Structure 1
Amino acid sequence: MTRAVDSGIILIARLALSVLFLWSGVMKLLGYGAFVAYLQSKGVPFVQIAAPIATAVEVLGGLMLIVGFLIRPLGLVMAVYTIATAVLGHDFWNVADAALQHDMVIHFWKNVGIAGGFLLLCVTGAGGASIDAARAPRRPLL
């Protein structure tokens, strides 16, 4: 059973994570051609498959975070996705320019930290303010 304050904090965490991914996913949709070109420039394999999957993960994942739907499995999926984007998109070990490399290091470790937040959601669940909580079987009072 989750205390009300815990549910409120978990809700704030879900919303904070959702803003980043929902915004990023919508930007990918609005500039889809540029996003595909970026993935190609990074050498991402199967770009025609990877681009729509990445966009869907961010948009749908962001929406699922907001409403608190399937948060435990979503937390694991989003943690793996966030680490994959860190490795593929912020590969500081391949950057020669010192200023750009510094920026990439920051973004890489930021993604690792975000993945940690998703792993916590995987363990804690969505909290009381969620579809998951509304769908959970109720225990009898007696």
Structure 2
Amino acid sequence: MLNDLLRQQNDLLILLARLLLMALFLVTGWKKLTNFTATVGYMASTGAPLPQLSTVVAIAVEFFGAIALVLGMYTRPLALLYVVFTLATALMGHHFWTQSGAEREGNKINFLKNLSIMGGLLLLAITGPGKYALWP
């Protein structure tokens, strides 16, 4: 019974999954876009190579890529790109293994959240965009 209900709503649930997976990226991408100079400073503090270029790439992926994925454009390749991007940001931004105390725990949770997001993105890469998409 539950399987039948889920199957009937499959495409709607895939659309919802795309929206939920991209919510964080849309918010953080917009923040980076509207606070470019501060983001460059943050990128420099994390040791990102070429902080200005890293900021442009982050904005392109996080904000504009997220819009494309929400719309169902190039869903499979974008989902795989996001897996790599999310892993890179986890390794660069949440290196809990070098920290201690509350900072370590907070970054460990964020690192694990990145891994969870990667799991959802891999599922999206497998399932594709569903029927509510501009480019399946």
Out of 100, 110, 113, the residue aligned to residue 113 of structure 2 is 110
Q: What TM-score comes out, normalization by structure 1 length?
A: 0.87
Stretches of structure 2 lacking an aligned partner (at least 5 in a row): 1-6
Residue of structure 2 in register with 1:123 after alignment: 126
Out of 39, 46, 49, the residue aligned to residue 42 of structure 1 is 46
Equivalent runs, 1:55-74 vs 2, <5 Å: 55-74=59-78
CA RMSD of aligned residues (A): 1.2
CA drift of 1:12 comes to 0.5
Letter in 2 for 1:121: L
**Radius of gyration: which is bigger?**
1
Residue of structure 2 in register with 1:10 after alignment: 14
Distance in 2 (CA, whole Å) between partners of 1:116 and 1:132 is 23
Percent identical pairs in the alignment equals 42
The answer to whether structure 1 residue 85 and structure 2 residue 110 are counterparts is no
CA drift of 1:4 comes to 4.7
Residue of structure 2 in register with 1:26 after alignment: 30
Distance in 2 (CA, whole Å) between partners of 1:113 and 1:126 is 19
Letter in 1 for 2:46: K
CA drift of 1:48 comes to 2.1
Q: What TM-score comes out, normalization by structure 2 length?
A: 0.91
Stretches of structure 1 lacking an aligned partner (at least 5 in a row): 134-142
Out of 40, 56, 64, the residue aligned to residue 52 of structure 1 is 56
Divergent runs of 4+, >6 A:
none
CA drift of 1:43 comes to 1.1
